[in-house]
Amino acid sequence: MLEVRDELAVTAPLADAAEWTSEAAWSLYRLPFNDLLFEAQTIHRRHFDPNRVQLSKLLNIKTGGCPEDCGYCSQSSHHSTGLAASKLMEVEKVVAEARKAKAGGATRYCMGAAWRNPKPRDMDAIVEMVGAVKALGLETCMTLGMLDRDQSDRLSAAGLDYYNHNIDTSARYYPQVISTRNFADRLDTLENVRQSGMKVCCGGILGMGEEEADRVEMLVTLANLAEPPESVPINMLIPIAGTPLAKAEPIAPIEFVRIVALARIMMPKSYVRLSAGRSAMTDEMQALCFFAGANSIFVGDTLLTAGNPEDEADRKLFRRLGLQAL
């Protein structure tokens, strides 16, 4: 006769812990895979409909020419990726694309610019974009690099709902990926965003040569912010020719799913977004991620400068899994 296991009950209170320790997070991460997924799915169901997934659309409103040297990025001016720099997109074009995204089922619209930080000459257009997209009834999100407090205040006053600024990896491994800014700079921008009254979208990238412990530490950092991010994108590195990480060893699928599950347990009320890298994932891997607590994806066949599953592929997967768009 099978016996019902009750050991997992002791981990449930950790989801509401005031502060996560590295030891507590690591012990959860190393649970037997089935136990970890069971715990993550149990917590997920307390806060979300397990069969609803948020659809977000990401538009690159300014491509290439970024002065940062992020080792994974095709848009860095330090790397020879063949990507030409562009000017900031016209407001009318951004709004037209937002209308298409809403018609396609997206409820959150994210706009990204390849900048170290916005220049004063660009802020008026950025503010206009926020107001126009929000007027369509979409949640608004932007990622524009680092922000000072005045900039974050302007974006908040314009009605920006979310600001994305990923910490990418652990504080220990961060210098191996980026040298043009430091980990504390990332945290400063997140604090400015929060103090301005906006919601935070912040996660990281897996498969950049980091150790498993670095991935866990990244989540410990996020969960221990004064307020955890309301949105946590988990990206799988897309190797780009011409970047320093072009030949990085791919992350094992089960290790990736473990991080998704851990993010769900440690930040139970956050949206956990399955972000870059889905084109390289099998349907089965994505299904495991949804079971582990991922409940948001980017739709559309382009994600900034990289590929993303086509809409029909996502619709087919949703039908197979019985998922519905949120």
State yes or no: is 273 an active-site residue: yes
State yes or no: is 289 an active-site residue: no
State yes or no: is 70 an active-site residue: yes
**Which residue in 108, 201, 258, 278 is the catalytic one?**
201
State yes or no: is 73 an active-site residue: yes
The residue whose two tokens read 């009750």 is: 6
- Taking Cα atoms as reference points, which of 38, 126, 116, 130 lies closest to residue 76? 116
State yes or no: is 202 an active-site residue: no
What are the strands, taking DSSP E only, across the chain? Answer: 52-62, 108-113, 139-143, 162-164, 199-201, 204-206, 231-236, 271-274, 296-299, 302-303, 306-307, 324-325
Residue 86 CB-density burial (10 A; 0-12 exposed, 13-18 middle, 19+ buried): middle
CA distance 220 to 259: 11
**Which residue in 73, 108, 181, 278 is the catalytic one?**
73
**Which residue in 108, 110, 181, 289 is the catalytic one?**
110
**Which residue in 154, 181, 264, 273 is the catalytic one?**
273
- Taking Cα atoms as reference points, which of 139, 145, 225, 217 lies closest to residue 185? 145
Buried b (16+ CB within 10 A) or exposed e, 151-174: bbbbbbebebbbbbbbbbbbbebb
CA distance 239 to 247: 7
The set of catalytic residues is 66, 70, 73, 110, 141, 201, 273
